[in-house]
Amino acid sequence: MDFGDNEDIAALRDLLQRFIVREATPEMAARWDREDHIEREMLVKLAGLGVCALTVPQEFGGMGRRVIETVVTIVELAKRSTALAGLYIMNACYGSLNLASEGTDEQKQRFLPRLLSGETLFAYGLSEPDVGADLSSVTTRAERRGDTVVINGRKRWCAGANFADHILMLVRSGEAEARYRNLSIVLVPTDAPGLTLEPAGAMGVRGIPVNDVLLDEVEVPFANVLGGEAKWNEGWSLLAGPALEIEKLETPALALGVAEAAVAEAWEYSQQRRQFGAAICTIQSIRHMLSDVQTKLQACRLMLMSAAWKVDQGLPSAVDTSMAKLFVSDTARDIVLTCQQVLGAYGYAHGFAMERYVRDALVMPIWGGSSAIQKNNIANLMRLPRK
């Protein structure tokens, strides 16, 4: 199994690391976090590197679906800023992956070239005030009126909706009793009349603001239903479609990037910080903590890349991706909290990136399907009896 340790991946990492040094300084990352805003021009710069092509089919000028490379890109960007990595995910994953996998020919023609160039961004609109893990219970209502879909309701936790062009929105398009056979996904323009955004705010992963989205008689062309006529009322199958296994890898890739950055900072700090006449890296308890996080970091890398390799190869991967989401997200959080202890009071202070890493890491076991949900998935997929 090739987990991405080859010349092409090494070249990709080098390309991204040189880009980050040049275009995304630590000061910029701190500002994106402080202001809860990242400039969209950063995406155009990323597209110039070619990484937006990693999820666009070759017939549209892309490289096809390159899962390991996509995961590596997220990890490297997240080492500097989850906002920068989030911007990339909104384009390459929310946008290109879903459109390439489930879009109609017309939708692909309309959106994929602009996604490839970094001109277009998609946000997700799945959760609602009373709907988190149980997405089949969404109440945002979509009514078909000829060639138009009219949407009413409220969505929550729509990260980046304030600067995205469209929201991939899960809506109830049939009778409530049908449950899994009454959902659709609609591409809703963020400038549609009747659509209002309300900033929600969050303690971490700042730079891609979270929003509530209110919809009051929002009219969208039926041509914006993801998958078209054939997928009207088939939204549940789209959620559980081919893109799902890759989407389960996005959050652990973010988590791994944050953990790698935290370990690098703690490792360096331990050699510079002196107490009792010596660098603290000479203290056994500090050495043990740093050895522990390095070991856990390697385990996270291997689990994430193993799952990505299986998805890339088209092998059964649902268990692997759920395990990666569970293990890497939880372990990365623990790694970062240990690294914070190495820095002591400075790990809690403004001016050090560590306090940002802590805030970012805390959400990883919650995002993208919580750890509890992943445990349910693993038990069910491995056919553990319920009775």
- Tell me the per-residue pLDDT of 217-262, one tens digit each, with 9 for 90 and over: 999 999 999 999 999 999 888 886 666 788 899 999 999 999 999 9
pLDDT band for position 175 (50/70/90)?
Answer: confident
Q: Are residues 364 and 285 in the same domain?
A: yes
Regarding whether 372 and 268 lie in a shared domain, the answer is: yes
Instruction: Please indicate, yes or no, whether residues 72 and 41 belong to a single structural domain of this protein.
Output: yes
Tens-place pLDDT, residues 62-106: 999 999 999 999 999 999 999 999 999 999 999 999 999 999 999
Give strand ranges (E) for 183-257.
183-189, 195-199, 211-221
What is the rounded average pLDDT of the residues 170-174? Answer: 92
Residues 252 and 375 in one domain: yes
Is 24's pLDDT higher than 90? yes
Are 114 and 130 part of one and the same domain? no
Q: The CATH number of the domain where 223 resides is what? A: 2.40.110.10
Those residues with Cβ within 8 angstroms of residue 56's Cβ, 6 or more apart along the chain or in another chain: 62, 63, 64, 96, 100, 112, 115, 116
Q: What is the pLDDT of residue 134?
A: 81
Do 148 and 86 have their domain in common? no
For residues 264 and 344, state if they share a domain. yes
In the predicted model, is pLDDT for residue 373 greater than 90? Answer: yes
Q: Are strands 166-172 and 183-189 parallel, antiparallel or unpaired?
A: antiparallel
Share of the chain above pLDDT 70, in %: 98
State whether 15 and 113 are in the same domain: yes
pLDDT of residue 2: 59
- Inside any domain, residue 365: yes
Instruction: Assess if residue 268 is contained within a domain.
Output: yes
Q: What is the CATH number of the domain that holds 30?
A: 1.10.540.10
- The whole-model pTM stands at 0.95
Does some domain include residue 387?
no
Out of 99, 120, 141, pick the residue that ends a domain. 120
Report CA 35 to chain centroid distance, whole Å: 20
Q: Report the CATH number that the domain containing residue 276 is assigned in CATH.
A: 1.20.140.10
Please name the amino acid found at residue 145: R
Question: 179: pLDDT confidence band, cut at 50, 70 and 90?
Answer: confident
- Residue 46 belongs to some domain of the structure: yes
270 with 279: CB under 8 angstroms? yes
d(CA 120, CA 160): 12
Quote the crossing angle between the two packed helices 243-272 and 82-89, to the nearest 10°. Answer: 170
Compute the distance between CA of residue 55 and CA of residue 65 in angstroms, rounded to an integer: 5
Residues in contact with 379: Cβ distance below 8 Å, sequence separation at least 6, in sequence order: none
Q: How many structural domains comprise the chain?
A: 3
Going by C-beta distance under 8 Å and a sequence separation of 6 or more, which residues neighbour residue 12? Answer: 51, 69, 72, 73
Among 215, 234, 253, the domain boundary falls at 234
Domain of residue 76 covers 7-120
* Whether residues 290 and 343 fall in one domain: yes
What is the residue whose two structure tokens read 């349910």? 376
One domain for residues 361 and 247? yes
In a domain, 1, yes or no: no
Nearest in space to 99 (alpha carbons), one of 110, 108, 88: 108
Q: What is the pLDDT of residue 282?
A: 97
Cβ atoms of residues 137 and 150 within 8 Å: no
Residues 45 and 98 in one domain: yes
In this structure, are 215 and 297 located in the same domain?
no
